[in-house]
Chains A and B, each alone.
Chain A
Amino acid sequence: MKEILVRFVVGGVVVSVFALLGDLLKPKSFAGLFGAAPSVALATLVLTVSKRGKEYAGLEARSMLIGAIAFFFYALVVSRLLIRRKVPVLPVTGLSMAVWFACAFGCWYAMLR
């Protein structure tokens, strides 16, 4: 429980710092780069290496590569739907998560399983 709490606090702080940096930059397309900052990875990898070692963290990083490919397709779908179709933001960003899950787990199944 203590470890989950530490992860929560460290993750919250790192994500907030990158989000704040994004708030301070213009134009919006450049600020958006910070929406894909490695904030969760930075918070997680330090804790993982100290607890499980480098080999374990390396395996996580390999899977993260697939997660990042899925992130690309997710963000692409969201941006196209918002810019071209001008649909409401919350349903689009929420429902498009299916793209991330399908892509991440599909690629993981095809490449790493």
Chain B
Amino acid sequence: MKVKFDTSGLGLSRWYEYVIRFVFGGTITALAGVVAERYGPEIGGLFLAFPAILPAAATLIDKHEKEKKERAGLDGTLRGRVTAGVDAAGAAMGSVGLMVFALIVWLKLANSSLSLVLLGATLAWLAASMMVWELREMLYRRIRARLHAASS
């Protein structure tokens, strides 16, 4: 499957949905700081990888898919849930990149400049996440091809 930019999804979002995500993200970031202040960096650090926006994102995806189907006169309940699940599967793959990000910051921060480490770690997050996604796509393509060959 090809990756592409598609701006049509933006039209489905309402202003308050952006506010919800802003508030979720801001709250978790502030909370991570408060927890680190109170319980130390070992506990506070856990919250740097807290699934801050996944619940909000999944709920919005579910809602948008449902609305799309309803406009076509269909019940989109199940479609909305499955689409949100596919998004969460993507987040699971992205979390491998998050592990790489944390590892690089942990090992490199002491002896390198902060901006360089964060830039390198962010690029590594993107590269690792995309690699896992591509591997999964390749695997699925092979499975589909085998099933197709077996059935014909």
Contacts and interface: CB of A to CB of B under 8 A. Distances in A.
Prevailing SS type, chain A contact patch: helix
Among B57, B62, B102, the one with the most A-chain Cβ atoms within 10 Å of its Cβ is: B102
Contacts of A100: 50-51
Contacts, number: 321
Among A9, A60, A69, the one with the most B-chain Cβ atoms within 10 Å of its Cβ is: A60
B86 interface: yes
A19 to B, nearest CB: 5
Interface residues on B, range: 35 or more
Contacts of A72: 92, 95-96, 99
Interface string B55-97: 1011101100000000000000010111111111111111111
Contact of A44 (B29, B78, B89, B92): B29
A71 B92 CA distance: 7
Given A32-B88, A46-B114, A63 B23 contact: no
Interface in A42-64: 42-49, 52, 54-64
Contact of B59 (A30, A70, A89): A89
Given A4-B30, A61-B106, A86-B82, A24 B5 contact: yes
A93 B25 contact: no
A81 B96 CA distance: 20
Interface in A67-99: 67-72, 74-76, 78-83, 86-90, 93-94, 97
Interface in B30-55: 30, 32-34, 36, 40-55
Given A32-B88, A65-B106, A68-B95, A7 B59 contact: no
Among B42, B43, B47, B53, the one with the most A-chain Cβ atoms within 10 Å of its Cβ is: B53
